[in-house]
Each structure stands twice: as C-alpha cells, then as structure tokens.
Amino acid sequence: MNLSATINLIGNLLGATIREQESPQLFHLVEQIRQLAKARRADSDRAPDQLAMQVAALTPDVARVIASAFTVYFDLVNLIEETYRVHTLRERERERHPEPAPESIADAIAMLAARGITRAQMQNLLAALNVELVLTAHPTEAKRRTVLSKLERIAHITRVLDDGDLLPRERAELEMNLRAEIAALWLTERTRTTRPKVEDEVRTGLYVVENVFWDTLPRVYAELDAALAKHFPGLSASPRWLTLASWVGGDRDGNPNVTMTVTAETLRLHRGLAIEHHRRALQDLARRLSMSAHLVPMPRDLQSWLEARHPLPPHAAYLEARYTSEPYRLIASILSADLAHASRDDMTARLLETTPHTARITLEQLTTPLEMIERALPPRIARDHLQTLARQLHIFGLHAARLDLREDASRLVSALAEVLRALGTDLTFAQKDETARLATLARLFAQARPALARHPGITVETAETWALFQLIARVQAVYGRALLGPFIISMAHSPADVLTVLLLARWAECDAGLSIVPLFETLADLQAAPQILSDLFALDVYRDHLTSCGNAQMVMIGYSDGNKDGGYLAANWELYRAQDQVARVCAAHNTKLTIFHGRGGTVARGGGPANRAIRAQPPGTVQGRLRVTQQGETIASNYASPDLAHRHIEQIVHAVLLASAPERDATAQHEWSAAMAIMSAAARDEYRALVHATPGFAEFWRSATPIDEINRLRIGSRPTSRRGGGLRIENVRAIPWVFSWMQSRFNLPGWYGLGSGLARADKNLMGAMYRDWAFFRALIDNAEMSLLKADMEIAARYVDLVSDRALAQKIFAQIQNEYACARDAILAITGHAELMDADPVIQRSIKTRNPYVDPLNYLQVETLRRLRALPDPESAPAEELREVIVLTINGIAAGLRNTG
C-alpha cells in the first residue's frame, strides 16, 4: 500500500467534494489558509499575522466550511494511517516468518524459553495468567456513531482499492463509490443534536465487542496455545485467561443517569448479545457436524445426554427424523434451540422484580455436551469451528463482558448514614472520624442483619444506592456471579470506605465472593494505600470476606486525578511507589494481588505505548495478572479493526508474560529511588505553585482554553464536573481538564513541573536511569511526546483571550520557562537533537499534521473571542459561533489524535 498516494487520492476527492457541495471559491480559500499555515511552520515572518487576518475576516458560515474541511481531512487521514498500519504489520510478519513478530505472544514465549525458564515456572505463570480489558465510555469521545459508520465504509473501500488484481473498470467504480461516501460524510452533521443516553453508550461498546473482540480474542488464545505447543508442549493456560469487562451502564460515579433500571437493561443487552452470537454459531456448527454415527460412533455419555433431552423441541424432532444417523448435528441444533428459548426471557423485568425465578440456561448446559462432542470427533475436525466456539463460550460466557459497578465513596457513606438514621441505630455516622466510623462498623458487623424495607433511605439517592445492592443480589441469585465484575469505590480514602460497601452488601446478602476494589486516585490516597490495605487485612471481618474471594484482592489506581493534583512527574512516581508497596503488603498477608490500571489515552492520564507501560511496572506487581481500562478514545484508535485490535492485545499479553518472568530485574537501585523522590517533590511543588496557589489561575484556565465550550458538548452521558461542583479546578473531572489544555496546545498536564524536577538531579545519574531503568525511560519518552505535541506559539494566541493582561503575561511566562527547562532536560538525558528523534515515524507524523491543525486553532481562538464579546451568550449568533467551535474541537482532537 502506498500511503502517500492513498492520502493524495483521499485529499483530491475531498477537495472535489468541497468544490461541488460548497463552491470553487471556498475550496480556494481552504487552500489559501492551508498554504499560510505551512508557511508559518516554515518560519515565514509574515505568515502568522496573515493567517490570523484571513481567519478574522471569515463569516460564521464560511468559518464552518473551513473548520469542516480540516476536520474531515483528519478523519480521513487517520483512517488511511490505520489501514496502512495493518498493511505494515502484515508485511513485517511476512518478512520475519518463520521467526515471530516483535512484541507478539510467540515472541514472548520464545524469549522465556531462551532464557531458560523451567516447565514448572512456566506452568505457575500460566496458572496465574489473567488479563482483563475493561471498556469504558469516554466522556469526551467526540465522534457520532453515524460518522464512525461512514468512516468504516470508506476504510473498507480503501482496503479493496489496495488489491493489485483490480480491473480498470473495477477501480473506477470503487473510486466513484469512495467519492460518494466522502460526499455523504461531508453532508452529515458531525455533532450530536442531543446528549447520548447511557443506553446509547452501552450499545456503542457492545458494537466493538461484537465486531472486533468476538473473533479476535479466540485468535489470541490460539496463538498462545501454538507458542506453548512449540516451546512447552503439554502446558496450557486456563480457558478464561483473557476476558472483557465494561463500566458502561455500571459506572455511577458522578453520573446520575446510571440507575438500577439502566444497569438491569445493560445486563440484558450484554446477555442478549452473547446468547444470539452463540445461537448463530451453534446453528452454523449444526450444518457442519454431518458426521455419521456409523463412522464416528457416539460415546455413551453423549447418548445418555441425548436420551435425557427427549421429548425434543419441534425443529430438533424434525432433524432427528430427517437425519437419523447424524446425532452431532442434532445435538448442536438442540443447543441452538435452547438459546433461542433463553433469548425470550424478559431479563430486565426479572431483575427488577422479587418473585423467585431461575435462568433458562446456564453456560455449563452448553459446554458439557460440546466437550463430549469434541472428545468424540477426530482432532482435525474438532480443532476448527468447534474449538473456536468452545473458546468463545469460555471467554464471553452468557454475558459478553462482565459489568463492573462503581460509586463514589462519599455517596456510599451518605447512603449508609441515612439507613442508620432511618433505623435509629446511629444518627451521626457521616460526621464521625475514621476511628469512630470503624468502631460503628465493627459493632454493626457483629449484630444480626436488620429488617430492611426495600427502600429504607430517606432520599431518592440513598434509595437508589440501596437498590443497587439488591440488584447485585438478584443478579447473583438468578443469573449467577459471572455477569458482574468488581464493586469499585472511587475516591476511597480509608478502610471504613471499603467496610461500608461490605456491610451494605452483607445486608443485601450479596457479599460472598463480591470483589470490593478501592480506587486510589489523589497523591495523598496513593501514599496512604499500603497502610489502608494493611489495616483492612488486620480485620477479621475483612479477612473472612477475602476467603470467600479466593484470598485475592484487587486494587485500582487512577492515573488522572493524581496528575491534576500534583503534576505529571509526581503522579507517576507516586503511582510507581504505591504499586510496589501495595504488592509488598499483599505478599506479607499471603494475598493474591491484581492491580487494576485506570489508564486514559493521553500521557497525562497514563497513556503511551501499552507494552512499554506494562514492562515499566515495579517488579513483583504484575505476576501474570493485569486489569486495565480501555477508554472510548483508545478504543477508537486501538480497536478500529480486528487486525489493529489483535496487534494491541498481543502487545499487552507479550508485556504481561515478560513482566511476570521469575528472573526479571530486581527493584530500582536505592540511588535512583532517592533521586526520584527529590525530583518528584520539586516537580510537585512547581506544579502546585502554578495550578493551585497562583491567584487568578482558574480565571486564566477558563479564558485561555475552550473548557466552557467542552462543558457544553453533547458527547457523553456523564457531567463534566463531580457532584455538580461547577467548573472549579478542584471539582472538574480530569478528562475535560486534560482535553481543554490539549485543545489550546499547552498540553500542560503532560509535562508541567518536569523541568523543575529534572533540574534537581545529576545529569549523569539521570542518563544511567534512562538507560537502565524501564520506569524512568517510559516516563521520559512519554513526556517527550507530550512536549512535541505542545506548541507555545499557538498557546500564546489563546493567552491573548485572557482579559487580565498582567495576569496572562505572568502565568504564560512561567509556563514558557518550565516548557523550555523540560525540553532542554529531556534532550540532555536522551541525547537527542530534537524531540522524538528516537521515533522518527511519530516525529514525522506530528510535524506533518501540525500545518493542518494550526488553522483549526486559529479558527477556535477567533471564534472564542467573538463569542465572549457577545452581550447575550445564549443568543442565536452565539449558537452559530458555538457550532464552529465544536467543529474545531473535533478537528483538533482528530489532528492531535487526543481528546482527554
């Protein structure tokens, strides 16, 4: 595939569309602006002012066309680059054959074998292996599903065009189809007319499960089996070592739209998808299992199973009469009919009622007869569709993806406090300090379960929280524990927060086996995490609960709020230290630890290459177990196609296997840790001095970024701020915080404080740390990309929007100085002449994109200036300007390949 030629084709077709659908004059204006942006990047003295004047002269209608032109261009270019990535991956694999591709599962197993890992060590690693990818609805995911579907059709056409065997007339017809699809994309509204509902986000997530993960995950399983057969014959992992979970429809934290009814409906949609896919697979399998019982005799256990199923459903009885000697076909048809019957179960209603009910089918009722068939058939036949179906049944079960439940600790404490007041048990629980709350909880655990009404809370919020625990109990009783993932407590600050959940779960009779996961997010909570766990493990009531959970504890760490709290360097160091110390606490208490990483797409929120990030974790913290969020933005890039999804997943598994190897490098040298502590403190102080201690900084942020307009976007079901706290720094969520700084090209959360921190360490020592310590190398490499994506000249234009000029100049001078310090320090540590010299592909991509992103920034600044000058911010002219701003937000996000 010729990348340049394909991009040129797409660009020419887009240009033709603009000429046809708008006018040749508007297309010429787009070209003028593009050329001025390129001249600006080529250090033309006059180009910046000329570009600004050109943009200032645009009417809102024309500005909308210009913004659309660059935004659609980036959507199309991103699409082509993703297609090219797949092409390149396939070429590399072909060239290396029979050697495994780098960062593949086969590569990891071969490396472990070459290192001399024993069979016993490998079996222990495989026994522990458990990787779970957790899908979330990104609150700033900026594309409509309608737009995504059109882009998928365009991608399909470009892939077909790459076929060298096309006839001239076929190529001409495809190019006509491509032009029509681009025209349709141009004429489609890019922004939603209404904010999506939670159910819409659930369906979007399940679309990815159905169209990407369903066939990709079994392929990954097959590759691990093949690699083990070559290097460690006879060894295997569990049938569920790689699975999916989701937060969409179960994440209540700050989202009042996620109710018990929504969660019940989400579970129905999950189960419905799994049942329908398995039903179709069994139907297809029935057509393939035409083996005669005369040639492949049916084992006795399978005969008994079939006899016990009589009388048969009508269609199965028909098949039995027609295909008298084909029992394998018959059994698959019976199972397909069972699933069809199960699909008619009104699951949502069943979950919301209290009358006794039993699920119409269980997973074991499917897997047991299929395992009998697999043993009966010749291995070559069983290895094909039957084995794939068996894998899909184990991976996806009857729930597609486990649904996690998450709620804020303060909401849970308030709910329990209200219940206690309603019961007359304790009137001041929420106001008590930690010691007093623990004492109250200990007393309540020792007492009998109180007689609770269905909704004992005083407020609607408390009734909803209590209803959630009742729903958990109902799901477990009717459909089993497999449907639900852990219960995650966001902003967990103490052992009492964890015990509050355990008590509510015990009262609802759903505590046994329920994994309760504290989420540590702020710097203070990350520092306190080891002691919180140690205190929990010392309590008999919690140790008993862990026993019901297989003596396993999951701990979630957040990469976002710590960054907003103390900056990039301090957050990353505290995350590293917390993982190391939490692992030590769990080891001391003989408890299996799984660290759940709440990573986002941007560097500021834990983004960066997944393989590098996993291998940079502290030794002893992975141990074969990894749970990590896959947020909306990263889903759109890493799982855009089955091939890209496969590559991303195999890189994750490759890293988990190597990071879990028994001979992995020891903990970081004491000298390195001491240096990191000093650098982290200096970086944190610099960051907090700017963001949290500078008078007027919140005003600067509100004025020099489009945060107010981001807050209005109809791109997610969840509000921008926690607990309705408005757009104050302490209340705004980390995702829109990062998004706003990325849009204005400061990219502040991805690097600020780094320069001051790195200035506190010896250069030679940092050089050794960069060379020999994976954590420090990942820290520097990720920051290097953040710095390259930042642009102080573009940021200066946003600074001009701040009305307090003295404040603006003071703060911006501080930011510029810190940027220069960070850039110079990183270049010194890496030995690079320019940022990202070590990765010329990414470096070239960013530099090539900049001239196309810059016009969108110029447009955004000009439109923000006009909007803020209007006397009525809710007038029709204001809405007209906001339409342009939203287009620029979409375009900049697509151009930088980052939202929040």
Token match 């943009």: residue?
A: 55
**Beta carbons of 609 and 101 less than 8 angstroms apart:** no
Determine the average pLDDT of the residues in 31-36.
Answer: 96
d(CA 886, CA 881): 9
| 691-704 pLDDT per residue, tens | 999 999 999 999 99
Residue from 297, 371, 280, 385 nearest 333 by CA: 280
- 595 or 601, greater pLDDT: 595
**Contact assessment for residue 742 and residue 899, using Cβ atoms and an 8 Å cutoff:** yes
Which residue out of 138, 143, 231, 277 is catalytically annotated? 138
Partnered with residue 596 across adjacent β-strands are 556, 627
DSSP secondary structure of 779-821 = HHHHHHHHHHH--HHHHHHHHTT-S-HHHHHHHHHHHHHHHHH
pLDDT at 631: 84
**Mean pLDDT estimate for the chain:** 92
Q: What is the pLDDT, as a whole number, of residue 720?
A: 55
Per-residue model confidence (pLDDT) at position 222: 96
Ranges 101-115, 292-306, 351-365, 403-417: which has the least confidence: 351-365
Residue 404: partners with Cβ closer than 8 Å, 6 or more residues away: 134, 245, 246, 247, 250, 251, 484, 485, 486, 487, 488
Question: What does residue 408 show for φ and ψ, rounded to 5 degrees?
Answer: -75, 140
For 896, the token pair is 């930088």
Q: Of residues 646 and 315, which shows the higher confidence score?
A: 646
Residue 583 and residue 230: Cα distance in Å, rounded? 33
Specify whether the CB–CB gap between 63 and 26 falls below 8 A.
no
Q: What is the pTM for the complete model shown? A: 0.93
Q: Which residues of 74-101 are buried (b: 16+ CB within 10 A; e: fewer)?
A: bbbbbbbebbbbbbeeeeeeeeeeeebb
Question: Cα angle at 496 between 495 and 502, to 5 degrees?
Answer: 95
CA distance 481 to 402: 9
CB count in 10 Å sphere of residue 629? 24
pLDDT tens for 121-155 read: 999 999 999 999 999 986 444 567 788 789 889 98
Task: Tokens for 467, please give them.
Answer: 């209803």
Position 744 pLDDT exceeds 80: yes
**Model confidence over 324-362: pLDDT tens digits?**
999 999 999 999 999 999 999 889 888 988 888 888 899
Q: What is the pLDDT of residue 1?
A: 66
Residue corresponding to tokens 């003989």: 590
What tokens appear for 3 in the block?
């990348």
Structure tokens at 131: 């990787």
- The first and second tokens of residue 96, run together, are 């290396």
Q: How confident is the model at residue 722 (pLDDT cuts 50, 70, 90)?
A: low
Alpha-carbon distance values, 742 to 105, 417, 791 (Å)? 34, 41, 10
Specify the higher pLDDT residue, 219 or 457: 219
Q: Give yes or no: 564 in active site.
A: yes
Contact 594, 625 (CB under 8 A): yes
Residue 49 or residue 323, greater confidence: 49
For strand 242-246 and strand 130-135, is the pairing parallel, antiparallel, or unpaired?
parallel
Residue 319's pLDDT is 87
774-789 and 568-588 helices, crossing angle to 10°:
150
pLDDT tens, position by position, 447-480 = 998 877 655 557 889 999 999 999 999 999 999 9
At 900, the pLDDT band (50, 70, 90 cuts) reads very low
Percent of the chain with pLDDT over 70: 95
Q: What percent of the chain has pLDDT over 90?
A: 78
Residue 166: enclosing H or E segment and its boundaries?
Answer: none
Q: How far apart are CA 704 and CA 699, in angstroms?
A: 8
Q: Determine the pLDDT at residue 83.
A: 86
C-alpha distances in Å from residue 433, one per residue of 491, 522, 765: 17, 20, 44
Strands, E assignment, 339-414:
402-408
516 three-class SS: strand
* Per-residue pLDDT, 140: 46
Q: Domain ranges in the chain?
A: 3-196, 197-408+436-445+471-666, 670-838
Reported as a single tens digit per residue, the pLDDT across 280-310 is 999 999 999 999 999 999 999 999 999 999 9
Dump the DSSP string for 132-174: EEEE---TT----HHHHHHHHHHHHHHHHHT-TT--HHHHHHH
Distance between CA atoms of 255 and 257, rounded to whole angstroms? 5
DSSP E strand boundaries for 584-641: 592-598, 625-630
pLDDT tens-digit readout, 555-584: 999 998 899 999 999 999 999 999 999 999
In this predicted structure, the answer to whether residue 684 has a pLDDT above a threshold of 80 is yes
Query: Do the Cβ atoms of 279 and 343 come closer than 8 Å?
Result: yes
The residue whose two tokens read 């739209």 is 257
- How far does CA 112 lie from the centroid of its chain? 29
DSSP-derived 3-state class of residue 562: helix
Question: Does 138 participate in catalysis according to the annotation?
Answer: yes
The 10 Å CB-count burial string (b at 16+, else e) for 508-544 is bebbeebbbbbbbbbbebbebbbebbbbbbebeebee
User: Which range has the top average pLDDT, 131-135, 158-162, 341-345, 636-640?
Assistant: 131-135
Token pair, residue 571, equals: 């957050």
Catalytic residue among 277, 545, 564, 592: 564
pLDDT of residue 604: 66
Quote the tokens at residue 555.
């701990």
Q: How far apart are CA 583 and CA 82, in angstroms?
A: 38
Q: How confident is the model over 806-826, as a mean pLDDT?
A: 98
The pair of structure tokens assigned to 762 is: 């010896």
Residue 132's pLDDT is: 98
Stretch 158-182: mean pLDDT, rounded?
92
CA 802 to chain centre: 34
